[in-house]
Structure 1
Amino acid sequence: MIEQAAARKSSKAPTAGALLDAACRIVLGEGLAGLTLRPLAEILGVSVTVLTTHYGARADIIAAICSAASTQDALLLERWRGMLAALPPLPPAMAADLAEAILEEQAIEQRALSMLYLELLHGCTWDRSLQPAFAAWRAQRRAFWDEFGRRAGLFPALLSCGWWHGYAVAELAYSMVLNTLPPYRMLRRLCLQRLFDGAAASAPDAADGALFALLFEQMQSGAAAAGPSAGRAPGWCALAARACGMRLAAQGVSGLTHRAIAAEIGVPHTTLSYRFPTQHELVRAGLEFIAAHILTAVTADSLTDLQRLRTEGDGRKLDLARANFAMAIAAARMPGLAAYTAGMRSRRGNNLVKVLEKYMPAVRGVDALCAQVISMGLTGLTNTEPPGQASESSVASAFSAAADWLRGTG
């Protein structure tokens, strides 16, 4: 039987298009961690030897996938570029409509390609070997969104620092999960409208804020129903939740395996599996740890303490922006996380309001909707670069640009 199966495999090298389609199928179902040579070869109907003989090692195959994806994506983006070129400078309402239409198309019609893009983008933040292969595709998408922002008259500093590209990346991640929810689609549109309206710090419309409050409540109700799990008695469960939260932020859902967590906290693999039977349970435990950590960070007494608590947990790094992004990507493959993701999306910016009021008194009139817009861009920008000093510098520049935008300066 094995010989017969081997005989059925093709000796012909797969095309770049077939390679891309196969990669998208794998990533859509299993995430980037599933994109290994054997399952790729199986879908293509060839042996691993045929695959590597034609394309090379895994790094070369990833590069070929990214090249094919960039080529296909360029054709899709060119249609939107043609539309933008035929239009006069975009008024705010039209800019919001078009941005939403593009995001919705990427999340629905181009779902598989977008999932591959998001998984690779996120993977590059913790696996630097992916960066050379992905760089051109990433630059292509950023160039498109920068061009869109210029046509819409977006505040220049928000473009130059990468904040606007980050916003588009973050919103796409949430759209992949929540696009079927009317409250989310209304919230997405509301945020885009506020962004392109400009002068966001000046007297927001009362109806605008009232609608935001209603949408916030609706999206929170599902998250409350999903609720944090209660009563995990053994003390090691808290250590497991902490380990899950740390790994979720640093490596995404692919880093949450029972063996890795069990080894880290020093309990038998079988014991951990009994309390947390599935990866979904590990993800939920990590999310609960992260949510609790956020509450602690918000009550910080100084900006220094806030920064420390935002990025550290018991002496180890915990980047909340990366953790939130990882959750959104995971939820696209794990529907049970959708309610959590809706709650996370609606809360974006809540903590930032308190930060701005407390540490940036020169910026006045920032309501929750405006803060959410700023937070979305900062979250996305954080996830477009690997952790480190360069990423922290980029976020600091974006925060400064956002403050200038709020003040209407620069």
Structure 2
Amino acid sequence: MEFLGQLGLPKVELETMDFQHGFQTRSYLIYHQFLKDTEIGKNLLKGLSEDPRVNALVGQMVSFGSRAIRFEINTLAMWLAWCTNYYGERFANEQLESWLNAEEVEVLNCLWVLGVEVDESIELSGGYVIRTIADMPDSDDKEYFNRKEFNYLSRTSLPKCAITKWQKIKKMWSDVPPVSSALSDEYRASTKSLYELAFILNSLDGVTCVPNFHTAYRDETTPIGYFGGSGGGATMFDVSTLSLSKISAASAPEINEMFSRFQLKGEPEKARLQLILNRLSQAKRRIQLEDKMLDLGIALEMLLLDDNDKDQLALQFRLRGSWLIGKSSQDRLEKWNLLQEIYNARSSVAHTGTLHNNNPSKIQKILEALPMYLSLSEAILRKIIISGPPVWRDLVLGVLADANFLVEGSGQAQPDEPQ
């Protein structure tokens, strides 16, 4: 029995579930009712039910790129009613005919990312686009990510943009033997590239980018639009971020250059660079200074000590980094000092569990220099992504790429051997 107090007022109970319908469910309910209760809706459904091409699709799976749903005439009818309502009968029928006769359709292959926002969508080479939420197709995801919360407990970071590419896929796929997937090699390759682009963005000055949620969308005017529900890959959980870094359209040429060079690398080198980029990204996202320096040091060691030579690691760390991007003797000296501070801080945390024994003055110095540490690390990463890892001995000795060197004890000049 419901509780009533002495003033006759009920007790306000805690809700255990959120019953608010999302954008796509609200659309579904409106047009489902329209088909059921109106003559226009009934006639529309009847016309589709009498089309042999439509009946042939019953029982098959409609592909949405990252997922598929069982085809139902009702769902197609809801889309047709929606398209007619928004764009008129002629356009809706043209779109329907085009879809019924097509073997392939386009979907927007999409990776929502955390930590990045753009004022306007940025077009990159190869058809890839960093899209604002406003430029994304309407969906439950767009509605959810675009919402504003006023809950003081809400500290959840939501995506503010997505990396996307329009990609052709098969319209349908079969789940009966022989099973045929709608996902082409091109779709799988573009999905892989979406993640690679997300990682590469972390090498930009001050930018943090975290892959979060992979999915795909149809254009709303292509059957069955957003009436097929939603879904995609599981949300990725990592060291999260509440900060937002902004990317401008002016960065497009630099991003394109890094991305094109990255694509030319072998799979082992791509995997290694992605680990490094993720470490650098984590260093930017960490809250504790000790964690920041540990991740930053690891990222740079993976970059600068990739040959795993145990001889004087600290010295090689400073030499290689300063010679790689230093433009003058004074510039190399400044970068040498920064790299030494990074290496010492990383070693302190790794070997003692504290940062310089919690010395306040040393910690304050690191806090003040942290932006310079990150900027230096980003510059080194960009250099290696674009130019590839150098022959470290030749770099430090100033040997030209096509130069010969004297083999010890031979007395003869020999061509340099690749490492």
Question: Could you say which TM-score interval applies, normalised by the shorter chain?
Answer: under 0.3
Structure holding more helix per residue: 1
Instruction: State which structure, 1 or 2, has the greater radius of gyration over its C-alpha atoms.
Output: 2
Determine which structure has the larger strand proportion and give its number: 2
**Relative contact order higher in (CA < 8 Å, ≥ 6 apart):** 1
